[in-house]
Amino acid sequence: MPEIKSLGVIGAGQMGNGIAHVAALAGLDVVLLDVKAEALDKAMATIAKNMDRQVSRSLITAEDRDAALARIRPGTDYALFNDADLVIEAATENEAIKAKIFQALLPHLKAEALLASNTSSISITRLAAGTDRPDRFIGMHFMNPVPVMKLVEIIRGIATSDATYQAIDALAKRMGKTTATAEDFPAFIVNRILVPMINEACYALYEGVGDVVSIDTGLKLGANHPLGPLELADLIGLDTCLAIMKVLHDGMGDSKYRPCPLLAKYVEAGWYGRKSGKGFYDYSQNPPVPTR
């Protein structure tokens, strides 16, 4: 089983900076890459703030924080990955973008390096087939927010070797995570179940069954969910929810996965949720107020 000591992360957004955060605390040397230097500055500030919060809650020590931050090296050049044992792609949920990233990355990897995608829905087998190492390619789907959520969903492509699977499973556990293994079908386990529920909540809103507050209150108090489905959609990103529903609809060919037109309309408006400041709620106000 390959030993993973150094890790590369592509994408400094909310998922990428979270993966870098937990990897560095687990003692790995991390290279965090993004095409935009300002995204890296923002990511490092976010990681520091989140680690400060962990220190204040006595979850880690100040020494742990300082050592972990020192292990993260931000940069914009793929050549920084030339010694990485594993590179995790954590870019936007768009297959064409992910494929382009892997093509740019491959010339800089050592022969034995492993590859993983943090995709939440796209075929691991298909992504792996576009690389020179399908046997060393795997899905490693972290949950958001990564430092808090305990699950990592591991998805084997059809060509993924046992050694690759065992190395990634061991790494996830080293990061303090619990693993669930999913077969390589559209949206895997978590989003196969979760995102259609969110889509159904969108339909309930679209059809006037209930308003935003009633739908979220109903699920929080009626099903004991910590967040209502529309609040959760705003946290995940409505663009990501729509992308996952499209993957499910295309991959399964079943009308029950048809994306709600209202969800598509919000995305067309650029109302992606928390990250854009507006989704099913308007986050420019405190507390946030429903937009519909």
pLDDT of residue 207: 97
Residue 18, marked binder: no
In a domain, 75, yes or no: yes
Is 288 inside any structural domain? no
Q: Are residues 30 and 168 in the same domain?
A: yes
Check the annotation: does 223 bind a ligand: no
Q: Is 198 found in the same domain as 178?
A: no
Q: Does residue 1 fall inside a structural domain?
A: no
- What is the reported pLDDT for 278? 97
Q: Which residue among 158, 183, 208 closes a domain?
A: 183
pLDDT tens digits for range 64-84: 999 999 999 999 999 999 999
290 lies in some domain: no
121, pLDDT greater than 90: no
* pTM (predicted TM-score): 0.87
The verdict on residue 289 lying in a domain is no
What is the per-residue pLDDT across 272-287, written as a single tens digit (0 to 9) for each?
999 999 999 999 999 9
Q: Are residues 140 and 274 in the same domain?
A: no
Q: How confident is the model at residue 260 (pLDDT cuts 50, 70, 90)?
A: very high
| Domain identity same for 14 and 100 | yes
Residue 66 annotated as lining a ligand binding site: no
**In this structure, are strands 114-117 and 281-282 parallel, antiparallel, or unpaired?**
unpaired
- For the chain, the average pLDDT equals 95
Judge whether 207 is annotated as a binding position.
Answer: no
Based on the domain organization, do 74 and 102 belong to the same domain?
Answer: yes
Q: Is 172 labelled as part of a ligand binding site? A: no
pLDDT recorded at residue 60: 95
- Which of 149, 183, 217 corresponds to the end of one domain? 183
Which structural domain, as residue segments, surrounds residue 137? Answer: 6-183
Q: Which residues are catalytic?
A: 120, 141, 153, 191
Query: What is the reported pLDDT for 3?
Result: 84
Q: Identify whether 38 is part of a domain.
A: yes
Is 42 one of the annotated binding-site residues?
Answer: no
pLDDT of 92 reads 87
Q: Could you give the CA distance from residue 272 to residue 57 in angstroms, rounded to a whole number?
A: 31
DSSP string, 215-252: HHHHHHHHS--SS-HHHHHHHH-HHHHHHHHHHHHHHH
Whether residue 98 is annotated as binding a ligand: the answer is: yes
In this structure, are 37 and 175 located in the same domain?
A: yes
The CB density around residue 227, as the number of other CB atoms within 10 Å, is 13
pLDDT over threshold 90, residue 51: yes
Check the annotation: does 159 bind a ligand: no
**Residues 43, 118: one domain?**
yes
- If asked whether residues 125 and 237 sit together in one domain, one would say no
Q: Are residues 43 and 15 in the same domain?
A: yes
Quote the number of domains for the chain: 2
Q: Is the pLDDT confidence value at 56 over 80?
A: yes
pLDDT at residue number 269 = 97
Kindly state whether residues 107 and 86 are assigned to the same domain.
Answer: yes
Confidence check: pLDDT of 2 > 80: no
93 and 225 fall within a common domain: no
Please report, for the domain that includes residue 196, its CATH number: 1.10.1040.10
Residue 238 has pLDDT above 90, yes or no: yes
Among 183, 218, 249, where does a domain finish? 183
pLDDT of 1 above 80: no
Please compute the mean of the pLDDT values over residues 237-263 and round it to a whole number: 95
Q: Quick one: tokens of 237?
A: 């990103």
pLDDT category, 31, cuts 50, 70, 90? very high
Average pLDDT over residues 193-208: 97
Model pLDDT, residue 292: 87
What confidence score (pLDDT) does residue 54 get?
A: 96
Do both 228 and 86 map to the same domain? no
Cβ neighbours of residue 68 closer than 8 Å, sequence gap 6 or more: 21, 24, 25, 51, 60
Q: Tell me the mean pLDDT in the region 198-214.
A: 98
CATH of the domain at 67: 3.40.50.720
Tell whether the model's pLDDT for residue 249 goes beyond 90: yes
Q: What is the mean predicted confidence (pLDDT) over 250-276?
A: 96
Give residue-wise pLDDT tens across range 130-147. Answer: 999 999 999 999 998 999
In this prediction, residues 14-43 reach a mean pLDDT of 95
Instruction: Please check whether residue 61 lies inside any domain of the structure.
Output: yes
What confidence tens digit (pLDDT) does each residue in 147-194 have? 999 999 999 999 999 999 999 999 999 999 999 999 999 999 999 999
Tokens of 48: 């520091």
User: Residue-wise over 197-213: b if at least 16 C-beta within 10 A, else e?
Assistant: ebbebbebbeeeeeebe
Residue 144 falls within a domain, yes or no? yes
